[in-house]
């Protein structure tokens, strides 16, 4: 994008010019597609255009910024101005889960979903206060670099590498999953093909130019994703609140929503549907209690019904229906039990809607307090995890100075804040729209978007007339969280071009995060593992080549793991944060703020934190099948709440029991504490 001969200020001016042109160009592109839609371009083609135009754009930026230089490859030459680094961090940070999943989670769980909103923003305070400026002053390439220099020795570096790769890999699988999902939705390609199309986009970019290419692509991706998120919200806001910034006015919509919820709770037709579900759930539970008897009785009943109808010479269609019921009856007790369990699960749908703004619902005081503890657990682990995820911390190595690193955290959070304070608003507006327009409408005239989405994917939206009155009741609707963001443009009655834009935004969010994560994994392997631990004489060209090669390997491995569709993605993401919070955060922060923290303190502390965290997850998460009782009722996702304090205390105790770190290390600590120290003889910054 520029040659090193340019001064920093010319560089900054040019950047502003490039990205202004770029944003203008993107808006023109949108208008052109909108026009083409009016002229009759098909929906499939709009999808293709958004997919290929944006991926080609990111690949183009990757090509333009390709590099072989080590400092350019690892830290974008350390001249990314704070505002641009903020945008890049924003895109790096906001994943498919934030873009598509967050508003849906808020829609479904109301106040309790806000734990993710707080957790994923407040962590940047910790980054700003405890890490970013000091890591920037230290100025190497990776996070294990810092641990190794500060605590000395290869064991620490090796543990750092392991932790960095574990957190990042778990997280990248979730991103690639998101990429596949969006690409297949957008174009109708198969999931597996979607994964590889998206992956190609990631690779061209990250492989050619490392951090430099990733940075400038992420800035471009941030612009796409923020335009995509805001457009439908502004529209919906004008419709319901009358102003284009509904973020400040949806409190009143929230009040109206509360009244609608009360009306729905009291509505006799709604109660009728809920009663049907409650009865079915009770019947299912009763059958599960004595399966053999229930199976025989059920079978006898359908058979008797058929015999009765035949004996009474009933109309042919009634007999056919009864015959189908006999044929559909489970073949054996085991199959019947599966069905009964499903029926018993309907108890959840028998409950009236929960007030959206209510905090910590629960039957009694104790249940409410457990809900509060779990809310705190998620906030705690997401925050401290934020301040420990290497792909985010790495971004603060790329600014020109300590000062810029501090302002850069500010801009990062501003960029993230814009989306995160909109998500709860979107959830409330979409919910209000749905509760007032969809609920109470007749099945004969469902809104077009509702019938369209119910056809596309029943797990996202299914509406069945349970009590056969021809009117939609809330209890008859099942909504998947991902629907909210994807369908908002249609709910708001916007042209299809906006739906394409939203999908492109989701893709940008997933791709940008995957880029950053893959680069972190490749750098940990090539720089920390190969160059620092195995072959310190490797030439720079060899190191950069190796990193590019490993990037491709990591991407393919991640795509392979993704194609196996491993269980609960949200648990995996949460686990990555808990692991980061228990392993990295304590030793990074204590390494800066406490000179006495020693090598063995760090090693044993990291091990203890990680150990407790993994132990709690493995013995409590249902997937592993051990299911020991929870401590204080805290869910295993928040294992970091035990891991982090254990790690801190261990570092503290072991450091006091072992010798103080040598003088050079103490000088290094002093060195990172002052942005500029006259007469300082520690030179840590790698060029």
Partner 1 sequence: MQLTERHHEYWRKNLVITAILFAIWFVFTFVEIWFARELNSSMTFLGFPLAFYFSAQGSLAIYVALIGIYALIMRKLDKEYGVDEGDLE
Report the residue from 379, 392, 511, 546 that binds partner 1 according to the rule CB under 8 A: 379
H/E element, 463: strand 461-463
Q: Which is nearer to partner 1, 10 or 290 (CB)?
A: 10
How many CB atoms are located within 10 Å of the residue 363 CB? 7
- Residue 252 as a binder of partner 1 (CB under 8 A): the answer is yes
- Residue 661 as a binder of partner 1 (CB under 8 A): the answer is no
Q: What DSSP assignment string belongs to 175-232?
A: HHHHHHHHHHHHH---HHHHHHHHHHHHHHHHHHHHHHHHHHHHHHHHHHHHHHHHHH
- Residue 390 as a binder of partner 1 (CB under 8 A): the answer is no
Please report how close the Cβ of residue 256 comes to partner 1 at its closest, in angstroms: 9
Stretch that binds partner 1, among 87-95, 357-365, 388-396, 508-516 (CB under 8 A): 357-365
Please report how close the Cβ of residue 380 comes to partner 1 at its closest, in angstroms: 8
Q: Considering only residues 90-149, where is the footprint of partner 1 by CB under 8 A?
A: 111, 114-115, 117-118, 121-122, 124-126, 128-130, 133
- Residue 414 as a binder of partner 1 (CB under 8 A): the answer is yes
- Residue 407 as a binder of partner 1 (CB under 8 A): the answer is yes
Question: Which residues fall within 8 angstroms of residue 555, CB to CB, at 6 or more apart?
Answer: 199, 202, 203, 518
The rounded distance, in Å, linking the Cα atoms of 105 and 464 is 23
Report the residue from 400, 609, 636, 661 that binds partner 1 according to the rule CB under 8 A: 400
- Residue 424 as a binder of partner 1 (CB under 8 A): the answer is yes
Strand partners, 461: 479
| C-alpha torsion sign, points 69, 75, 79, 84 | positive
- Residue 359 as a binder of partner 1 (CB under 8 A): the answer is yes
H/E element, 397: none
Q: Which is nearer to partner 1, 62 or 119 (CB)?
A: 119
Q: Which is nearer to partner 1, 118 or 155 (CB)?
A: 118
- Residue 537 as a binder of partner 1 (CB under 8 A): the answer is no
Q: Which is nearer to partner 1, 50 or 124 (CB)?
A: 124
Question: Which residues fall within 8 angstroms of residue 316, CB to CB, at 6 or more apart?
Answer: none
List phi, psi (to 5°) of 461: -155, 125
In the numeric block, which tokens belong to residue 526? 């090539």
- Residue 667 as a binder of partner 1 (CB under 8 A): the answer is yes
Stretch that binds partner 1, among 4-12, 226-234, 507-515, 528-536 (CB under 8 A): 4-12
- Residue 406 as a binder of partner 1 (CB under 8 A): the answer is yes
Q: Which is nearer to partner 1, 79 or 212 (CB)?
A: 79
Q: Which is nearer to partner 1, 248 or 624 (CB)?
A: 248
Q: Which is nearer to partner 1, 130 or 191 (CB)?
A: 130
Contact by Cβ (8 Å): 493, 500: no
H/E element, 478: strand 477-479
How many CB atoms are located within 10 Å of the residue 585 CB? 27
| C-alpha torsion sign, points 454, 426, 434, 444 | negative
Please report how close the Cβ of residue 609 comes to partner 1 at its closest, in angstroms: 20
- Residue 173 as a binder of partner 1 (CB under 8 A): the answer is no
- Residue 372 as a binder of partner 1 (CB under 8 A): the answer is yes
The Cα-based distances of 551 to 224, 524, 525 in angstroms read 25, 10, 9
Report the residue from 97, 223, 346, 413 that binds partner 1 according to the rule CB under 8 A: 413
**By rule CB under 8 A, what string of x and - marks binding of each residue 294-333 to partner 1?**
----------------------------------------
What is the SS3 string spanning 521-571? HHHHHHHHHHHHHHCCCCCHHHHHHHHHHHHHHHHHHHHHHHHCCCCCHHH
Indicate left, alpha or beta for 627 from its phi (over 0: left) and psi (-120 to 50: alpha).
left
- Residue 420 as a binder of partner 1 (CB under 8 A): the answer is yes
- Binding residues for partner 1, rule: CB under 8 A, are 8-9, 12, 111, 114-115, 117-118, 121-122, 124-126, 128-130, 133, 247-255, 357-360, 368, 372, 375-376, 379-380, 383, 400-404, 406-407, 409-410, 413-414, 417, 420-421, 424-425, 667, 670, 673-681
């Amino acid at each position: 994008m520029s040659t090193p001969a340019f001064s920093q200020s010319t560089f900054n001016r040019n950047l502003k010019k490039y990205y202004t042109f770029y944003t203008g160009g993107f808006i023109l592109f949108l208008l052109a597609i909108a026009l083409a839609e009016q002229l009759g371009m098909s929906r499939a083609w709009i999808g293709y255009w958004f997919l290929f135009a944006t991926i080609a754009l990111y690949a183009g930026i990757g090509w333009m910024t390709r590099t072989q230089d080590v400092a350019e490859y690892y830290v974008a030459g350390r001249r990314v101005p704070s505002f641009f680094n903020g945008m890049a961090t924003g895109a790096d940070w906001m994943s498919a889960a934030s873009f598509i999943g967050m508003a849906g989670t808020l829609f479904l769980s109301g106040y309790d979903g806000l734990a993710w909103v707080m957790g994923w923003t407040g962590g940047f305070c910790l980054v700003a206060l405890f890490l970013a400026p000091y890591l920037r002053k230290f100025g190497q390439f990776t996070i294990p670099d810092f641990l190794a220099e500060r605590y000395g020795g290869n064991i620490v570096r090796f543990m750092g590498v392991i932790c960095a790769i574990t957190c990042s890999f778990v997280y990248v699988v979730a991103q690639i999953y998101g990429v596949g999902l969006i690409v297949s939705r957008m174009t109708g390609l198969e999931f597996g093909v979607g994964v590889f199309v998206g992956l190609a986009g990631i690779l061209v970019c990250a492989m050619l130019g490392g951090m430099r290419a990733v940075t400038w692509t992420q800035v471009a991706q941030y612009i796409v994703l923020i335009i995509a998120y805001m457009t439908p919200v502004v529209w919906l806001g004008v419709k319901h609140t009358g102003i284009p910034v509904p973020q400040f006015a949806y409190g009143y919509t929230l009040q109206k929503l509360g009244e609608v919820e009360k009306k729905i709770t009291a509505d006799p037709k709604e109660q009728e549907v809920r009663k049907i579900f409650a009865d079915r759930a009770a019947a299912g539970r009763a059958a599960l209690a004595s399966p053999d008897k229930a199976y025989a009785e059920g079978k006898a009943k359908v058979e008797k019904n058929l015999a009765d109808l035949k004996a009474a010479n009933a109309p042919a269609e009634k007999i056919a229906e009864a015959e189908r019921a006999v044929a559909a009856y489970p073949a054996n007790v085991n199959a019947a039990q599966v069905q009964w369990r499903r029926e018993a699960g309907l108890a959840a749908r028998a409950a009236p809607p929960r007030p959206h703004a209510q905090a910590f619902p629960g039957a009694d005081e104790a249940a409410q307090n457990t809900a509060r503890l779990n809310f705190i657990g998620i906030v705690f682990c997401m925050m401290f995890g934020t301040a420990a995820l290497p792909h985010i911390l790495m971004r603060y190595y790329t600014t020109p100075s300590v000062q810029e690193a501090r302002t850069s955290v500010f801009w990062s959070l501003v960029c993230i804040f814009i989306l995160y304070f909109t998500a709860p608003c979107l959830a409330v507006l979409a919910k209000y729209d749905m509760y007032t327009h969809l609920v109470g409408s007749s099945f004969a005239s469902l809104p077009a978007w509702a019938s369209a989405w119910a056809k596309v994917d029943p797990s996202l939206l299914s509406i069945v007339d349970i009590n056969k009155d021809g009117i939609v009741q809330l209890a008859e609707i099942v909504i998947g969280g991902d629907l909210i963001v994807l369908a908002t443009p249609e709910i708001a009655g916007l042209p299809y071009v906006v739906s394409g834009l939203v999908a492109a935004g989701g893709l940008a969010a997933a791709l940008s995060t995957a880029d950053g994560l893959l680069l972190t994994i490749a750098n940990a392997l090539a720089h920390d593992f190969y160059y620092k631990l195995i072959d310190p004489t490797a030439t720079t060209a060899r190191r950069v080549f190796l990193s590019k090669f490993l990037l491709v390997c990591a991407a393919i491995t991640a795509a392979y793991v993704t194609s196996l569709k491993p269980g609960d993605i949200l648990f995996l993401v949460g686990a990555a944060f808990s692991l980061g919070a228990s392993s990295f955060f304590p030793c990074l922060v204590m390494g800066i703020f406490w000179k006495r923290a020693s090598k063995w303190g760090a090693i044993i502390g990291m091990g203890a934190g990680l150990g407790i965290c993994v132990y709690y997850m493995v013995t409590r998460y249902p997937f592993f099948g051990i299911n020991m009782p929870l401590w204080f009722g805290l869910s295993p996702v928040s294992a970091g709440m035990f891991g982090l304090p254990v790690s801190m205390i261990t570092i503290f105790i072991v450091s006091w029991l072992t010798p103080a770190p040598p003088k050079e290390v103490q000088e290094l600590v002093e060195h990172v504490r002052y942005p500029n120290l006259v007469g300082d003889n520690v030179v840590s910054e790698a060029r």
